[in-house]
Amino acid sequence: MIKWITKLFSSTQKEENTDNMKPEVHEHPKNNIKSVSKKYLIVGLGNIGAEYVNTRHNIGFKVLDFLAKKESLSFETVKLGALAEYKFKGRTFFLLKPNTYMNLSGKAVKYWMDKENIPLENILVITDDLNLSFGTIRIKPKGSDGGHNGLKNINLVLNTQEYTRFRFGISDQFKKGQQVDYVLGDWDEEEKAKLPERLEISSEIIKSFGTAGLENTMTTFNGK
């Protein structure tokens, strides 16, 4: 009897020890897919409405429209914006033009980031920049809003400044008190002539961001 109890106890202890040796399985949160995600959210900032189509402030929309036309993509009206899906080298790029107007851009970014389960480091926001000369490109992994209302709202909604932004220079060639008119004004003739080449480079930046990575993209395109 004693031998039988000893054997039973030994067997139970062995099973417990075996259970303790099993690898732990952790449930990962919804967005904990950073190292494997091949989905990217490319957000072009701008304002909806025909009166804004060719304005400097809408360069984000213009870059996405250029890429969509080049790749024969169509934008669909979706919640909080217009969206086109672009597949390239095993990656999926969601091209988003928020319809919330510039000052509420963060709402659309957050919604589609969550809906498509896209990690923060796979987000690229395209915006105009008064502090850069026309067509100058500056890609940064993080930073302040620089006085830009679209970035300001995205920072507020996401509660972080650590997402990649692609700043497209529109220069600051306006007189005192005329900034709003300048930003919401059309490109001049010289700028219009140079835009196609700048937009071509911009479309390559989007593809590079998803395939070559941020660091390589910054090295290749910053200052071009």
Residues assigned a catalytic role: 57
Question: What's the N-to-C CA distance of the chain in angstroms?
Answer: 86
Residues 6+ apart with CB under 8 A from 207: 88, 89, 93
- The verdict on whether residue 131 carries a ligand-binding annotation is no
Task: State the burial class of residue 59 (Cβ atoms within 10 Å of its Cβ: 0-12, 13-18, 19+).
Answer: buried
Residues 6+ apart with CB under 8 A from 143: 161, 165
- The verdict on whether residue 163 carries a ligand-binding annotation is no
Query: What pairs with residue 82 in β-bridges?
Result: 77, 97
Question: Looking up tokens 């998803």, which residue turns up?
Answer: 210
| The residue type at 162 | E
Residues contributing to the annotated binding site:
52, 101, 103, 149
Residues contributing to the annotated binding site for tRNA:
52, 101, 103, 149
